[in-house]
A and B are shown apart, each in its own frame.
Chain A
Amino acid sequence: MDSEFIGYLRPDGRKGVRNLVLVVYTVECAQFVAHAIAEGEEDVHVVGFPGCYDNEYAIRLMLALARHPNVGAVLAVGLGCEYTRPDRIADVVSASGRPSDWFYIQEEGGTRASIARGKETVRLMRERIREETPRVPMTLADLTVGCECGGSDGTSGLAGNPVVGAFFDRLVDAGGTAIFEEIVEMIGLREIILARAANDTAKEQLAQAYDKAERYCREVRQYSVSPGNFAGGLTTIEEKSMGAFAKSGSRPIQGVLKVAQTPPHPGLWLLDSVPDEHFMQFGYTNPNDTEGIMDLIAAGSQIVLFVTGRGSVIGSPVSPLVKVTGNSQTYRRMEEDMDFDAGRILSGEIGMAEAADELAALVGRVAAGEPSKPEALGHREYFVMYKHQDTPNLLEGCRA
């Protein structure tokens, strides 16, 4: 668990496990050009917000991704009519000590000219950060690892999530940071969650986040459980919740983060991605797995574990996604997409402790640069939607 690897030192002191150029677009109308710029370019990823009307939550999220420890430089691309401002994004990135640039497609002269300019820019940025970014030794203590689950079945709560929980215990004990989310998949577990609070402040935060999530699900009449979950043997949200909560392991929960907040100190944290009460409510709590993964990355996760019993094929930009399945049939059927077979715990092939050690070793290899399966396949899904969350209190340790 104390293995060392080489990472990338950022001006704010955080360390990355990748050295990427990020293209950020500011409206759906710029999406095609942004993707065309990144197409075929090594270590160039894309995120963006589709709305024409700006949204503070979405902007905080994109700024957190643009200053993520895995990101070395940013190109912001706008169409020219939208509210969200690529120039402001570039300014914030620049102030963080990273190379940045921006342009409007309308001013560049259209699609071809914009793609050509963008490709020239990201190539120069990539060259520069490869030369200039200081390399630095890292250990597990420098890692923030997120965990999401999706495409869950009856094995997820028995093997997939528990092995991540056992790994999270090791990560936290080694001085690292672990983040889990999906509080809408903790419905029915109020007392169990509160009993895990590290202190009274954390307990109060957990109670507020839980009560809000339960209220929200009731109001939109949708709980975070999908047809595939039911087909895989899960019968109720409470059952899915117990399985999902197993990913948190057993260490005390230090507190609740809002989207785009970075944990103020190491340990285990719960990320609350549920909308706060507002004059109107946008959409659902967890519209899909990709949204939750983006939230975990925005909180500073350099690597995200994704537990999927039925077999999801998604990936993520910015931080590698590592696929864990508790279902050995799924692993065999979709081996090119799955990184880790935790179903071996259920067959009796290996014990939980041994599986957690293996998973820790895998995370160590991915942190050292080995591509995860979705990363190697080129999966870079992202999803940024309109949402309202109250502006996080900067005094509470928000760095993003």
Chain B
Amino acid sequence: MRTDELPGTTRRCFKVHEGDNVATMLDEATPGALTILGQTQGLDLREPVGLGHKIALRTIAAGEPILKFGVPIGHASIDIEAGAWVHLHNCRSNYDERSQTLDLHTGAATDTAYG
């Protein structure tokens, strides 16, 4: 890994739309203070999250829509705390059911028989 790819050098996330309750990580980061691009107010990241992944900008209750690009991209399957990683373990599609069975970290399929 090149030094400019090391996590922790910059710690930024991006909120696409004003009404969104999640932001997308622009850097891989460990827990701690995080900058929201173009905003003065920051956020406290609760767990390590990778580039391109999402974090909750506020507390999101189970059943509430997850809003990105200003539209619902699914709903919270459990309560989500501000600064937490938002992914398959706490966000569920309103259409696709199979994705809930995939490995949380690798996305690998776990529901197909190989013998």
Pick out which of these stretches binds chain B: A18-26, A64-72, A197-205, A229-237: A229-237
Roughly how many angstroms separate A327 CA and B24 CA in the complex, as a whole number? Answer: 13
Interface string of A149-169 (1 = CB under 8 A from B): 000011101100000000000
User: Across the interface, which residues of A come within 8 angstroms of B98, CB to CB?
Assistant: 221-223
Pick out which of these stretches binds chain B: A3-11, A27-35, A49-57, A184-192: A184-192
B91 proximal to A (CB < 8 A): yes
The listed residue (A154, A192, A227, A229) touching B71 by CB distance below 8 A is A192
Q: In the complex, are the beta carbons of B96 and A158 less than 8 A apart? A: no
Given contacts A223-B99, A346-B14, contact A233 B93 (CB under 8 A): no
B11 proximal to A (CB < 8 A): no
Q: In the complex, are the beta carbons of B72 and A231 less than 8 A apart? A: no
The listed residue (A230, A236, A242) touching B92 by CB distance below 8 A is A236
Given contacts A231-B107, A327-B51, contact A239 B5 (CB under 8 A): no
Q: In the complex, are the beta carbons of B99 and A237 less than 8 A apart? A: yes
Which residues of chain B in 48-106 are interfacial with respect to chain A, using CB atoms and an 8 Å cutoff? 50-54, 66, 68-69, 71-74, 86-88, 91-99, 102-103, 105-106
User: Across the interface, which residues of B come within 8 angstroms of A154, CB to CB?
Assistant: 24-25, 51-54
Q: In the complex, are the beta carbons of A237 and B93 less than 8 A apart? A: yes
Which A residue sits closest to B106, measured CB to CB?
Answer: A231
Roughly how many angstroms separate A155 CA and B52 CA in the complex, as a whole number? Answer: 6
Q: In the complex, are the beta carbons of B71 and A233 less than 8 A apart? A: no
4 nearest CB pairs, A to B = A154-B52, A230-B107, A233-B52, A233-B53
The listed residue (A155, A232, A332) touching B2 by CB distance below 8 A is A332
Roughly how many angstroms separate A243 CA and B14 CA in the complex, as a whole number? Answer: 14
User: Across the interface, which residues of B come within 8 angstroms of A223, CB to CB?
Assistant: 93, 95-96, 98-99
Determine how close the nearest CB of chain B comes to the CB of A219; give it in whole angstroms. Answer: 13
Q: In the complex, are the beta carbons of A227 and B96 less than 8 A apart? A: no
Which residues of chain A in 38-91 are interfacial with respect to chain B, using CB atoms and an 8 Å cutoff? none
Total A-B Cβ pairs within 8 A: 115
Which B residue sits closest to A221, measured CB to CB?
Answer: B98
Q: In the complex, are the beta carbons of A230 and B99 less than 8 A apart? A: yes
Determine how close the nearest CB of chain A comes to the CB of B91; give it in whole angstroms. Answer: 5
Q: In the complex, are the beta carbons of A233 and B73 less than 8 A apart? A: no
Which residues of chain A in 322-356 are interfacial with respect to chain B, using CB atoms and an 8 Å cutoff? 327, 329, 332, 346-347
A288 proximal to B (CB < 8 A): no
Contact-size category for A: 35 or more
Determine how close the nearest CB of chain A comes to the CB of B12; give it in whole angstroms. Answer: 9
Using a CB–CB distance below 8 Å, which chain B residues touch chain A?
2, 5, 14, 16, 24-26, 50-54, 66, 68-69, 71-74, 86-88, 91-99, 102-103, 105-109
Roughly how many angstroms separate A236 CA and B96 CA in the complex, as a whole number? Answer: 7
User: Across the interface, which residues of B come within 8 angstroms of A158, CB to CB?
Assistant: 14, 16, 24
Which of B50, B69, B94, B102 has the most CB atoms of chain A within a 10 A radius of its CB?
B69
Which B residue sits closest to A237, measured CB to CB?
Answer: B96
Given contacts A235-B86, A346-B14, contact A242 B68 (CB under 8 A): yes
The listed residue (A227, A232, A309) touching B108 by CB distance below 8 A is A227
Roughly how many angstroms separate A235 CA and B106 CA in the complex, as a whole number? Answer: 12
Q: In the complex, are the beta carbons of A233 and B74 less than 8 A apart? A: no
User: Across the interface, which residues of A come within 8 angstroms of B103, CB to CB?
Assistant: 227
Which B residue sits closest to A234, measured CB to CB?
Answer: B52
Q: In the complex, are the beta carbons of B73 and A235 less than 8 A apart? A: yes
Q: In the complex, are the beta carbons of B109 and A153 less than 8 A apart? A: no
A228 proximal to B (CB < 8 A): yes
Interface string of A226-262 (1 = CB under 8 A from B): 1111111111111100110000000000000000000
Determine how close the nearest CB of chain B comes to the CB of A237; give it in whole angstroms. Answer: 5
